[in-house]
Each structure stands twice: as C-alpha cells, then as structure tokens.
C-alpha cells in the first residue's frame, strides 16, 4: 500500500483534506510530529468506512487510511522507524493501534513488528485481532498463526480477515479445528459456518484422511 495510492483514495473522503495534506508535510519534515497528528486523524478526517474500497482496503475506515498515510510519510528507516511505529502502537488507543497494524506491510521494518502482532492477538479485541491477521501476519510463525486463527473462531471473527488463509491452512490447523468441533459438539454447541467449511476442506484431503483412519484403527 503506497502513500500515493492512499492519498488518491483519501482525496475525496477526508473531511478536512487541507489538514491531512499539511499533516503529511509536517511528518515528512519532522517525524516526531506524528505523535500529536496520529491521534487527531479521526476527528479531522472522519471515521466512516471507505466506500467501495479495492479488496486490499476491505474493512478500512477513513481514519485508518489517513493514519497509514501519515506513517508512510515518515522519512525514517531501520531501528528509528521501528521505534516510532512501536511507540505509536504502545500509546495508541484501539483505533490508533488498528491503524498501526494495518500499516505494517507498508513500512520497511522487516519482521520487527511481529511483537505488535503478538500484543494485538493477546488483547481479545476483535478489531485488533482482525487487523493483526492481515498480510503482515506472514511474519508470524506457524504455531502463533494457527493459534490466532483458532482465536478468531472462538471470538466469532469472520475468517475472511485472515490474509492468505487458503494457502497457509495446514493439517495441524485442521486437527485443531477438529478438536474444537468435538468440544463444541460435546457441549451441544456448533461451529461458525466458515470454520466448519474450513474444517471440512482441510480434513477431506484424500491422501491424508484414509491413512489417519488406518493408523487410528
């Protein structure tokens, strides 16, 4: 997600485009200014969902896009950039944290933002967990990624928030879903439809399934 693209998207959406243009300019000259401008983005630009966004911006709000634009305008690299991104997350309210998570694939900090994903996944805040499972979640190790996907199922977060789910879902995730399904049945409860569909996809894999059954028998 480049800054230029977001600036185009926001041109007709931000409530106060002059404020946003000025804020981007200030951050480009003085990255420390972002600390005060980042929280103000909601009240200056608006908090409505982006209308008809392209698929990469599904679920984004105007303030998300404005905040990501501010982050990508910072003329910082390496450790200094990672430190500023981390501080915006630490001192952010839930909306600001969500924007930082959305920005992670667009800022050049390598895998140093993984700790922020771990924090977000710990929170039990569905808005943050959903944002943490975007494209940057490719940096999560498999164990944590599977845990996060299962947590979505627990919390009723639609699995459409998980970037690259079809490609990354593996047999171990299928086993975890099957165990959850068994627990739910024992309790007289059901699985969300999207999780049941994923379970069925993962466990109907013809080469693995008959073999498993033979072993078990």
Q: Is the Cβ of residue 45 or residue 169 nearer to another protein in the bound state?
A: 45
Q: Is the Cβ of residue 43 or residue 185 nearer to another protein in the bound state?
A: 43
CB of 99 to another protein, least distance (A): 13
**In terms of Cα–Cα distance, which of 167, 169, 157, 168 is closest to 132?**
157
Q: Is the Cβ of residue 69 or residue 129 nearer to another protein in the bound state?
A: 129
Distances in Å between the Cα of 68 and the Cα atoms of 6, 10, 64, 203 are: 8, 11, 6, 39
Sign of the C-alpha dihedral computed for residues 92, 96, 101 and 106 taken in this order: negative
CB of 51 to another protein, least distance (A): 20
The contact set with another protein (CB under 8 A) reads 35-40, 42-43, 91, 93-95, 123-126, 155
CB of 161 to another protein, least distance (A): 15
CB of 90 to another protein, least distance (A): 8
Written as six digits, the tokens of 75 are 């003329």
Q: Is the Cβ of residue 91 or residue 205 nearer to another protein in the bound state?
A: 91
CA-CA distance, 192 to 211, in Å (whole number)? Answer: 28
**In terms of Cα–Cα distance, which of 72, 68, 67 is closest to 28?**
72
CB of 110 to another protein, least distance (A): 25
SS3 content of the chain, % helix, strand, coil (to 5): 70, 0, 30
Q: Is the Cβ of residue 3 or residue 39 nearer to another protein in the bound state?
A: 39
């Amino acid at each position: 997600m480049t800054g230029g693209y977001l600036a185009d998207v926001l041109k007709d959406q931000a409530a106060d485009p002059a404020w946003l243009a000025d804020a981007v300019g200030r951050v480009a000259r003085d990255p420390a200014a972002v600390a005060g401008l980042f929280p103000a983005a909601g009240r200056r630009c608006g908090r409505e969902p982006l209308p008809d966004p392209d698929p990469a911006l599904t679920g984004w709000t105007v303030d998300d896009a404005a905040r990501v634009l501010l982050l990508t305008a910072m003329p910082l690299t390496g450790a200094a950039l990672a430190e500023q991104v981390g501080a915006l997350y630490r001192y952010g309210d839930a909306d600001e944290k969500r924007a930082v998570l959305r920005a992670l694939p667009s800022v050049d900090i390598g895998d140093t933002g993984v700790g922020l994903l771990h924090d977000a996944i710990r929170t039990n805040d569905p808005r943050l967990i959903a944002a943490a499972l975007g494209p940057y979640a490719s940096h999560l190790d498999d164990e944590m990624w599977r845990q996060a996907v299962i947590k979505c199922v627990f919390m009723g977060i639609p699995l459409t928030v998980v970037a690259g789910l079809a490609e990354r879902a593996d047999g171990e995730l299928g086993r975890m879903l099957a165990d959850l399904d068994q627990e739910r049945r024992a309790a007289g409860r059901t699985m969300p439809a999207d999780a049941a569909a994923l379970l069925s996809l993962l466990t109907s894999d013809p080469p693995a399934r008959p073999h498993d059954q033979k072993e078990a028998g």
